[in-house]
Structure 1
Amino acid sequence: MGFKDKFAESFARSKTMTGPEKKANEIMGKLIMKKAIAPIVLMLIVLIGGISFKVNSWVVLGVNLLIAVGTYFYIKKVSEKFQNFKPYVGNLISLEKKGKNEYVAIIKQGKMPIKLEIAYGGEDFVNVKKNQLVQVSYNHDAKIAILVTKQ
């Protein structure tokens, strides 16, 4: 599969995404960009430092390429961690606001209540009524919660 085919498939997929999928991609994209800021700044520091200390431009290019390759594998590993969503279906028992954007939701799934600590995506739960049936996709590692449906 060529690059053109991959791009076409990705573009078609982005046009047919549902609301929760778009929300999840938006949150994960922001988190990955936060992780990518440090290597970008490091590459600029190497470039400026190389120019100011009159280091050979090939050495500066080599160091920047090493940083770029390392960043690629780091971002790939981090993005795989963000893909592990577990679905929960149950009644929303309570929602508590812990911090500025942090929430704790308790969902009763069957007889067991499940406590979800939400760092990203908790603002969707504010409009959900108590004891309302919800379907949630939750990532335990990054504490991302995506409200799929509410009834």
Structure 2
Amino acid sequence: MQKKLVLIGGGWMRDGDTEEVDSFAVQLTNKPSPLALFVPTASRDEEAYIEGFRDVYGWKLGCRTEVLRSFDWELDEKTIREKILGADLIYLGGGNYVTMLSLWKKQGLDRTILEAWERGVVLVGISAGAICWFNKGMRSHYEEKGIS
């Protein structure tokens, strides 16, 4: 299975900054109307970010969209696995890297997202959602600065 990872350093999806790379990521699914799953953990499941994802990936790029809200404390492992493994494309949003990884590890999202990628699901990550796939990287955040 071919693994596809699309990483974006920054920009604002809703303002069109990442339009070309977002379109490219959707094309990588090789499906006319792929299911795109947004995981906005790093932004604490921010509603405006979710709406921006639906506008861009749903309306503009023709995807069916779903959201996995990590801060939904009633979220169970079965639901997490169904949503993640059922997606054609997973978009990992930007925000607080430390919060995101901490919550993912508690809920098992990190392992399930990796499993989806190994099965051929296209992974798209921006900022925190991009840097999380590396052993080391530079980040600048109010909590810590430097290499992590």
TM range (shorter): under 0.3
Answer 1 or 2: which has greater strand percent.
1
TM-score of the aligned structures, taking structure 1 as reference length: 0.22
Answer 1 or 2: which has greater helix percent.
1
Q: Which structure is richer in relative contact order (CA contacts within 8 A, separation 6 or more)?
A: 2
